[in-house]
């Protein structure tokens, strides 16, 4: 009974209906070893505890890990500890649970800041934390001085959006670049905030504009159809519409806007080239290179090619018009771009990497222009588990992440300030499991931190 | 064993006097081969007075299954087999709804819980996670530097294994049967004890927000020895033992050569 009481206190069960005195004997009974019948009767009379009912739902959680000092992890006690003797934590090497008020449906990691969004109809739909020197998290009014804003936001703070119908519009997706962020809604277009010195927010560049403590949130509505995906590169933005067209604005010196020139674009303009007329179902970018996947399984690329990302079609290091990449690896389902390396996932569930850096095939493969497959046995596939397959691929600046259909997260690449989440500080040359207490549903990779959306097991 | 025909006694050459015809004469010496008297059965006594039997991996009192023994010269092979670090396969039976102090169903009851919310899908999810974390432990305890190309190639083939001391590691686990409240798992593991497997069943119960006890632990494979090679209680006689040793000699030699080189 003492042990049962201790377990109850630890796990918070409901009080049982039956009496608790079944296991404790009264003073009228003799001591001594109990017979088998007595033990069996005591066992049957013992109370039954219920910890989870039949309709218990799985809980949605958010886990963060990586570099803490920028505040991008959203845990203030890492930067400013709540007791004087505690030291601030520079790196969180393993996944740490972040308490959120609502279920987070989309997350994005920028360069030192994070955005979380929920598709609720409440007034507060987007929270931001981390660096805010260019108002990439909107205006966060300081509590000490009502006229100034915070430069670093240490906790997930709501971002007020100028919505026409705040209790009907839902936020579908968020995306973050180096110093700007994009928020996609279902009926009110795209909201952009942050640095606009290259026109990446989709509005005209104003000379000598101060971006810090700015209240300006720009709204973009002029597209040929509803925008279904927004992607931020380092200093440019890409918009994919329902009709399958891609629009771009922002810095173009590496050709990452794909508009045929190397200048800045401050108004979202439609891309032509090899993707004109093609129904694009996914776009991806994080650095200065961009990839797009069509509904027929072809992949197109444009932008920076200094690291052999587009070397299979051209020798030039900057490609400013989308080009079809003729890879014979099967129908492609999903693509992701990092700073120097690219990764694609085919319909059969195979993962291919190319580019420069730690690509995931051991320390000997540093650069390749042609996609190389990563053996599925590294993702948990074996004769014992033949139906393990990679479901999604994501890219940070120099890291890669893969999610399997079993809910496991594999990471590899440069372990910048502990962003891989493996618990070690060394670089990882082949896919390694991250131990997360739950089934990983989605992951967002940044430069030096990562955020994952996880469903608990039971 | 002692009743079996012995080795014929050694022979040596002795110069023996020839029995001469009766009345006097020269006694000649003839070289003859005679058996050595020291090899005579009455001098030597029984050939086998003691037989060294060594045990392979331990098996609990409450567990059952394949138990490898080495006899005589086989004891030397036992150390080599241990150094191969081969996996063992167990069938573990569990029961939801109870928790006891020694994790088996004969222990003192600690708590009873409901289990009607448990489905096979939830159990398989937990087993997948257990396999994942143990696979990570497998790579970490194998003492290979993860940054080398050799480590990458071994990881691709799935040949990384700890070749020294390590905590218990489960290399594969899957659910064979699931009828509430009972379930049966097949576990492939390294360096484990049966009590560790019972504790694993208990922890699976906790993870599923209920409780579980272990009803049966049965080893069905120990390295190269499976249930087919094992002798039943009724077969513990000389002929079966000799036949078993003869049958598995080839297997053991091949395995030792493959692993230890």
What would the pLDDT profile of B126-145 be if each residue is shown by its tens digit?
Answer: 999 999 899 888 888 888 88
Contacts of A406 in chain B (CB under 8 A): 125, 128, 132
The distance of B111 to chain A (nearest Cα, Å) reads 6
| pLDDT confidence band for A5 (50 / 70 / 90) | low
DSSP β-bridge partners for residue A346? A332
Locate A135 and state its tokens. 């108002």
Please give the residue of chain B at the shortest CA–CA distance from A40.
B109
Q: In this complex, how many residue pairs, one in chain A and one in chain B, have their CB atoms less than 8 Å apart?
A: 108
Check residue B20 and give its pLDDT.
65
Check residue A23 and give its pLDDT.
53
Inspect the interface and report whether the beta carbons of A378 and B156 lie closer than 8 Å. yes
The span from the CA of A282 to the CA of B155, in Å, is 32
B142 touches chain A (CB under 8 A): no
B140 touches chain A (CB under 8 A): no
B116 touches chain A (CB under 8 A): yes
The span from the CA of A154 to the CA of A70, in Å, is 8
Inspect the interface and report whether the beta carbons of A52 and B174 lie closer than 8 Å. no
The span from the CA of A240 to the CA of A268, in Å, is 11
The distance of B249 to chain A (nearest Cα, Å) reads 28
Contacts of B158 in chain A (CB under 8 A): 377, 382
What's chain B's length in residues? Answer: 261
The average confidence (pLDDT) of chain A is: 90
In a 13 Å sphere around the CA of A343, the CA atoms on its Cβ side amount to 32
Q: Are A184 and A219 in contact (CB under 8 A)?
A: no
Question: In whole angstroms, how far apart are CA A270 and each of A241, A243, A273, A320?
Answer: 10, 12, 10, 13
Please compute Rg for chain B using Cα positions: 29
What would the pLDDT profile of B187-226 be if each residue is shown by its tens digit?
Answer: 999 999 999 999 999 999 999 999 999 999 999 999 899 9
> Is B154 a residue whose pLDDT tops 70?
yes
Is the domain covering A60-455 a CATH 2.130.10.30 domain? yes
B154 touches chain A (CB under 8 A): no
The distance of A194 to chain B (nearest Cα, Å) reads 39
Q: What is the mean pLDDT of residues A9-35?
A: 58
A4 touches chain B (CB under 8 A): yes
Q: Which CATH class is domain B53-260?
A: alpha beta
> Is B251 a residue whose pLDDT tops 80?
yes
Check residue A28 and give its pLDDT.
75
Write the residue in A3, A363, A382 that is nearest to B148 by C-beta: A363
Q: Are A62 and A451 in contact (CB under 8 A)?
A: yes
- Number of helices (H), then strands (E), belonging to chain A: the values are 3, 29
Write the residue in A23, A429, A458 that is nearest to B147 by C-beta: A429
Q: Which of A333, A249, A347 is nearest to A299 (CA)?
A: A333
Contacts of B133 in chain A (CB under 8 A): 433, 435
The distance of B210 to chain A (nearest Cα, Å) reads 7
The angle subtended at Cα A177 by Cα A198 and Cα A194, nearest 5°, is 60
Question: Can you give the residue ranges of every domain in chain B?
Answer: 53-260
Mapping DSSP to helix (H, G, I), strand (E, B) and coil, where does residue A14 land?
coil
A439 touches chain B (CB under 8 A): yes
What would the pLDDT profile of A157-173 be if each residue is shown by its tens digit?
Answer: 999 999 999 999 999 99
| Residue B60 is among the residues annotated as catalytic for this protein | yes
> Is A54 a residue whose pLDDT tops 90?
no
Inspect the interface and report whether the beta carbons of B147 and A406 lie closer than 8 Å. no
| pLDDT confidence band for A91 (50 / 70 / 90) | very high
A27 touches chain B (CB under 8 A): no
> Is A433 a residue whose pLDDT tops 80?
yes
Phi, psi of B203 (to 5 degrees): -70, -30
Quick one: how far is CA A52 from the chain centroid? 30
Locate B96 and state its tokens. 């939801």
B132 touches chain A (CB under 8 A): yes
Q: What is the mean pLDDT of residues A354-369?
A: 92
Inspect the interface and report whether the beta carbons of A430 and B155 lie closer than 8 Å. yes
Inspect the interface and report whether the beta carbons of A42 and B109 lie closer than 8 Å. yes
Check residue B163 and give its pLDDT.
86
The distance of A155 to chain B (nearest Cα, Å) reads 31
What would the pLDDT profile of A108-140 be if each residue is shown by its tens digit?
Answer: 999 999 999 999 999 999 999 999 999 999 999
Inspect the interface and report whether the beta carbons of A432 and B136 lie closer than 8 Å. yes
What is the DSSP-derived secondary structure letter of residue A274? G
Out of B39, B60, B102, B105, pick the active-site residue: B60
Inspect the interface and report whether the beta carbons of B122 and A3 lie closer than 8 Å. no
Out of A28-37, A390-399, B91-100, pick the least confident.
Answer: A28-37
Please give the residue of chain B at the shortest CA–CA distance from A438.
B129
Inspect the interface and report whether the beta carbons of A384 and B172 lie closer than 8 Å. yes
What's chain A's length in residues? Answer: 458
Please give the residue of chain B at the shortest CA–CA distance from A409.
B132
Q: What is the ipTM of this complex?
A: 0.80
What would the pLDDT profile of B48-57 be if each residue is shown by its tens digit?
Answer: 889 999 998 9
Q: What is the mean pLDDT of residues A9-33?
A: 57
The distance of A340 to chain B (nearest Cα, Å) reads 20
A380 touches chain B (CB under 8 A): yes
What would the pLDDT profile of A183-211 be if each residue is shown by its tens digit?
Answer: 999 999 999 999 999 999 999 999 998 99
Cβ atoms within 10 Å of B7's Cβ, excluding its own: 7
Check residue A21 and give its pLDDT.
44
Inspect the interface and report whether the beta carbons of A430 and B209 lie closer than 8 Å. no
Phi, psi of A228 (to 5 degrees): -110, -15
Q: Are A161 and A125 in contact (CB under 8 A)?
A: yes
Classify residue A99 by burial, with Cβ atoms within 10 Å: 0-12, 13-18, 19+.
exposed
What would the pLDDT profile of B166-182 be if each residue is shown by its tens digit?
Answer: 999 999 999 999 998 99
CA distance from start to end of chain A: 27
Inspect the interface and report whether the beta carbons of B129 and A3 lie closer than 8 Å. no
Locate A291 and state its tokens. 């990839």
Write the residue in A407, A429, A457 that is nearest to B207 by C-beta: A457
Inspect the interface and report whether the beta carbons of B209 and A43 lie closer than 8 Å. no
Contacts of A4 in chain B (CB under 8 A): 110-111
Please give the residue of chain B at the shortest CA–CA distance from A20.
B111
| pLDDT confidence band for A9 (50 / 70 / 90) | low
Write the residue in B129, B131, B209 that is nearest to A51 by C-beta: B209
B176 touches chain A (CB under 8 A): no
Contacts of B130 in chain A (CB under 8 A): none
Write the residue in A3, A362, A385 that is nearest to B149 by C-beta: A362
The span from the CA of B207 to the CA of A234, in Å, is 42
Q: Sheet of A399-404: strands edge to edge?
A: A390-395, A399-404, A409-413, A428-434
Mapping DSSP to helix (H, G, I), strand (E, B) and coil, where does residue B244 land?
helix
Q: Which of A177, A176, A179, A174 is nearest to A134 (CA)?
A: A179
Q: Are A365 and A356 in contact (CB under 8 A)?
A: no
Q: Are B239 and B131 in contact (CB under 8 A)?
A: no
Please give the residue of chain B at the shortest CA–CA distance from A51.
B209
Q: Which of A413, A410, A411 is nearest to A397 (CA)?
A: A413
Check residue A22 and give its pLDDT.
46
The span from the CA of B231 to the CA of B245, in Å, is 11
The span from the CA of A22 to the CA of A275, in Å, is 75
A3 touches chain B (CB under 8 A): yes
Q: Are B197 and B105 in contact (CB under 8 A)?
A: no
B208 touches chain A (CB under 8 A): yes
DSSP β-bridge partners for residue A455? A60, A439
Write the residue in A384, A408, A428 that is nearest to B174 by C-beta: A384
Check residue A1 and give its pLDDT.
57
Locate B50 and state its tokens. 């003691």
Compute the CA torsion angle B57, B62, B66, B67 (nearest 10 deg): 40
Compute the CA torsion angle B207, B210, B213, B217 (nearest 10 deg): -40
Q: Are A249 and A236 in contact (CB under 8 A)?
A: yes
Write the residue in B109, B112, B146 that is nearest to A49 by C-beta: B112
Write the residue in B125, B155, B174 that is nearest to A457 by C-beta: B125
The distance of A397 to chain B (nearest Cα, Å) reads 20
| pLDDT confidence band for A11 (50 / 70 / 90) | low
Question: Can you give the residue ranges of every domain in chain A?
Answer: 60-455
């Amino acid at each position: 009974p003492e042990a049962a009481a201790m377990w109850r206190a630890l796990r918070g069960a409901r009080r049982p209906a039956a009496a608790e005195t079944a296991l404790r004997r009264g003073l009228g009974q003799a001591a001594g070893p109990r017979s088998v019948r007595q033990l069996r009767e005591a066992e049957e009379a013992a109370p039954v505890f219920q910890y989870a009912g039949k309709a218990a739902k799985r809980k949605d959680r958010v886990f963060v890990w990586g570099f803490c000092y920028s505040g991008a992890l959203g845990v203030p006690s890492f930067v400013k500890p709540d007791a004087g003797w505690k030291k601030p934590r520079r790196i969180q090497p393993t996944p740490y649970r972040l308490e959120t008020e609502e279920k987070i449906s989309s997350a994005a990691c920028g360069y030192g800041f994070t955005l979380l969004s929920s598709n609720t109809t409440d007034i507060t739909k987007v929270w931001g934390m981390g660096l805010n020197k260019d108002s990439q998290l909107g205006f966060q009014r300081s509590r000490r001085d009502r006229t100034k804003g915070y430069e670093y936001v240490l906790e997930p703070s709501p971002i007020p959006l100028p919505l026409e119908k705040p209790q009907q519009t839902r936020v579908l997706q968020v995306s973050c670049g180096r110093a700007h962020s994009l928020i996609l809604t279902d009926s009110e277009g795209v909201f952009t905030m942050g640095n606009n010195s290259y026109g990446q927010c989709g509005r005209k560049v104003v000379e000598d504009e101060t971006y810090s403590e700015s209240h300006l949130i720009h709204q973009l509505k002029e597209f040929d159809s509803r925008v279904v995906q927004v992607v931020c590169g380092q200093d440019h933005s890409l918009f994919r519409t329902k009709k399958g067209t891609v629009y771009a604005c922002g810095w173009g010196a590496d050709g990452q806007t794909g508009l045929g020139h190397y200048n800045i674009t401050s108004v979202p303009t439609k891309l032509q080239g090899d993707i004109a007329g093609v129904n694009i179902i996914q776009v991806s970018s994080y650095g200065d290179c961009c990839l797009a996947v069509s509904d027929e399984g072809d992949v197109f690329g444009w932008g920076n090619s200094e690291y052999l990302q587009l070397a299979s079609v051209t020798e030039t290091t900057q490609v400013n018009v989308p080009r079809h990449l003729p890879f014979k690896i099967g129908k492609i389902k999903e693509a992701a771009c990092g700073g120097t390396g690219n990764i694609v996932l085919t319909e059969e569930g195979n993962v291919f990497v190319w580019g420069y850096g730690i690509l995931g095939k051991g320390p000997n493969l540093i650069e390749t222009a042609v996609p190389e497959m990563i053996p599925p046995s590294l993702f948990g596939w074996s004769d014992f588990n033949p139906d393990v397959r990679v479901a999604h691929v994501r890219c940070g600046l120099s890291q890669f992440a893969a999610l399997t259909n079993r809910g496991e997260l594999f990471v590899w690449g440069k372990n910048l300030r502990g962003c891989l989440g493996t618990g070690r500080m060394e670089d990882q040359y082949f896919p390694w499991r991250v131990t997360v207490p739950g089934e990983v549903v989605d992951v967002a990779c940044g430069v030096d931190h990562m955020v994952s959306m996880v469903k608990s097991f039971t | 064993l002692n009743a079996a025909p012995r080795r014929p006694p050694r022979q040596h050459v002795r110069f023996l006097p020839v029995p001469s015809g009766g009345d006097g004469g020269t006694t000649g010496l003839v070289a003859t081969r005679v058996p050595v008297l020291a090899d005579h059965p009455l001098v030597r006594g029984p050939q086998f007075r003691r037989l060294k039997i060594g045990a392979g991996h331990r098996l609990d009192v409450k567990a059952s299954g394949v138990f490898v023994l080495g006899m005589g010269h086989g004891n030397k092979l036992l150390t080599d087999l241990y150094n191969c670090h081969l996996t063992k396969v167990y069938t573990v039976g569990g029961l939801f709804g109870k928790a006891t102090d020694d994790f088996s169903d004969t222990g003192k009851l600690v708590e009873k819980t409901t289990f009607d919310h448990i489905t096979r899908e939830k159990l398989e999810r937990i087993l997948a996670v257990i396999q994942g974390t143990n696979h990570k432990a497998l790579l970490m305890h194998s003492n290979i530097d993860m940054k080398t190309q050799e480590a990458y190639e071994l990881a691709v083939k799935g040949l990384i294994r700890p070749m020294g001391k390590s905590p218990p590691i489960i290399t594969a686990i899957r659910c064979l049967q699931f009828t509430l409240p009972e379930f049966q798992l097949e576990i492939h593991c390294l360096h484990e004890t049966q009590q560790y497997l019972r504790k694993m069943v208990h922890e699976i119960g906790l993870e599923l927000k209920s409780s579980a006890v272990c009803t049966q632990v049965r080893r069905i494979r120990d390295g190269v020895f499976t249930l087919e090679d094992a002798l039943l209680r009724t077969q513990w006689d000389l002929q079966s033992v000799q036949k078993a040793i003869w049958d598995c000699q080839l297997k053991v030699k091949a395995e030792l050569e493959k692993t230890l080189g």
